[in-house]
């Protein structure tokens, strides 16, 4: 672990940050652990777009400082610790270490690590994150093991972005008339206001995962009303999610906490052995990040 300058005064504030594929949340605390303010900003997946992520981190912390009625200069006396999507990838993590951040000091790890640490108060246990992306992880005697979480292109099955992407793939095949065109395909075209394959591809070919995630509530609603394609997608996603959650439960030999914006909706559809291990979270990932710092458990210190 590194700090900004070893001769600097101790920090006056702590900020815990939770950065995912769609939102970045920050909670500002005083040194005795009282919550002073909270802030939210945009996407902070450091593997997808480092510039955007750094801006979101900064914006969320500034918003928390403002919410606490503290002056902007507070940044320099605030120790920041965060968990960010993509931080498990060496290339992304190494890039973030080079950041000339404005904080007192800056520590980070993956969003999964902070979520897991907060969820079980540092004890052994598992977490299943279902948001824009998807991932499971186990904490066993301080050691983190990850299952899934391979990103939008190569994994993240069952997540909001994956459900959306699969719905678009289906819609394109329905437009080509090699799949039946049902309610899901109609809803996808309506949502993006794109009624030809060319218009859909032109709009979505380079789109962020979050843009695909917009379809998630529509897909869940249609699945709930037994639309066959939506139902099949949700089923395939939940089978995968149950499989990675089961691995994490076995690895940690503990209980499972759910996290992420899509978790609540999919929880009843997970396999029963996985549901039987569910427990509620002790703390959020923001506080989990601060605990990780305090327990000296950060494995990646930021640059000076």
Query: Angle, nearest 10°, between helix axes 228-252 and 160-175?
Result: 150
Name which of 106 and 240 has its Cβ closer to its own copies.
240
Residue 239 tokens read as 């089978």
Asked if 197 interacts with its own copies (CB under 8 A), we say yes
Interface region with its own copies, contact rule CB under 8 A, candidates 7-15, 64-72, 89-97, 101-109: 89-97
Asked if 292 interacts with its own copies (CB under 8 A), we say no
Q: CB-based burial of residue 7 (10 Å sphere; 0-12 exposed, 13-18 middle, 19+ buried)?
A: exposed
Smallest separation, CB 199 to its own copies (Å): 8
Name which of 6 and 205 has its Cβ closer to its own copies.
205
What character string, x for contact with its own copies (CB under 8 A) and - otherwise, covers 24-53? Answer: -----------------------x------
Q: Which of residues 207-226 bind its own copies (CB under 8 A)?
A: none
Smallest separation, CB 175 to its own copies (Å): 9
Asked if 79 interacts with its own copies (CB under 8 A), we say no
Which position among 6, 34, 69, 177 is part of the footprint of its own copies (CB under 8 A)?
177
Name which of 146 and 229 has its Cβ closer to its own copies.
146
Asked if 198 interacts with its own copies (CB under 8 A), we say yes
Smallest separation, CB 215 to its own copies (Å): 13
Alpha-carbon dihedral sign for residues 113, 153, 273, 227: positive
Interface region with its own copies, contact rule CB under 8 A, candidates 28-36, 68-76, 164-172, 281-289: 164-172
Asked if 202 interacts with its own copies (CB under 8 A), we say yes
Asked if 154 interacts with its own copies (CB under 8 A), we say yes
Asked if 168 interacts with its own copies (CB under 8 A), we say yes
Which position among 230, 244, 255, 290 is part of the footprint of its own copies (CB under 8 A)?
244
Asked if 304 interacts with its own copies (CB under 8 A), we say no
Asked if 153 interacts with its own copies (CB under 8 A), we say yes
**SS3 per-residue string spanning the chain:** CCCCCCCCCCCCEEEEEEECCCCEEEEEEECCCCEEEEEEECCCCCCCCHHHHHHHHHHHHHHHHHHCCCCHHHHHHEEEEEEECCCCCHHHHHHHHCCCCCCCEEEEEEHHHHHHHHHCCCCCEEEEEECCCEEEEEEECCEEEEEECCCCCCCCCCCHHHHHHHHHHHHHHHHCCCCCCCHHHHHHHHHHCCCCHHHHHHHHCCCCHHHHHCCHHHHHHHHHCCCHHHHHHHHHHHHHHHHHHHHHHHHHCCCEEEECCCHHHHHHHCCHHHHCCECCCCCCHHHHHHHHHHCCCCCCECCC
Asked if 259 interacts with its own copies (CB under 8 A), we say no
Q: Which residues bind its own copies (CB under 8 A)?
A: 47, 88-91, 146-148, 150-151, 153-155, 165, 168-169, 172-173, 176-178, 197-198, 200-202, 204-205, 240, 243-244, 247
């Amino acid at each position: 672990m590194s700090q900004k300058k070893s001769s600097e005064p101790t920090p006056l504030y702590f900020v815990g940050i939770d950065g995912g594929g769609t939102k970045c949340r920050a909670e500002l605390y005083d040194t005795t652990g009282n919550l002073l303010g909270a802030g939210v900003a945009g996407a902070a997946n450091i593997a997808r777009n480092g510039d955007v992520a750094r801006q979101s981190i900064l914006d969320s912390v500034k918003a928390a400082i403002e919410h606490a009625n503290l002056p902007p200069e507070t940044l320099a006396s605030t120790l920041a610790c965060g968990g960010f999507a993509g931080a498990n990838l060496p290339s992304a993590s190494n890039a973030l270490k080079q950041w000339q951040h404005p904080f007192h000091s800056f520590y980070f790890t993956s969003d999964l690590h902070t979520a897991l640490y907060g969820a079980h108060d540092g004890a052994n246990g598992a977490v299943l994150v279902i948001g824009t992306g998807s991932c499971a992880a186990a904490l066993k005697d301080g050691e983190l093991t990850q299952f899934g979480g391979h990103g939008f292109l190569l994994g993240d099955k069952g997540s909001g972005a994956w459900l959306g992407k699969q719905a678009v793939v289906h819609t394109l095949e329905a437009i080509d008339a090699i799949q039946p065109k049902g309610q899901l395909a109609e809803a996808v075209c309506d949502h993006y206001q794109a009624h030809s394959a060319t218009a859909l591809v032109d709009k979505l070919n380079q789109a962020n995962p979050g843009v695909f995630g917009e379809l998630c509530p529509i897909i869940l609603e249609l699945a709930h009303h037994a639309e066959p394609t939506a139902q099949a997608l949700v089923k395939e996603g939940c089978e995968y999610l149950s499989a990675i959650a089961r691995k994490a439960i076995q690895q940690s030999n503990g209980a499972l906490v759910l996290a992420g914006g899509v978790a609540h909706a999919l929880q009843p559809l997970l396999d029963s052995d996985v549901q039987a291990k569910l427990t509620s979270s002790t703390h959020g990932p923001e506080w989990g990040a601060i605990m990780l710092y305090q327990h000296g458990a950060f494995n990646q210190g930021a640059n000076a």
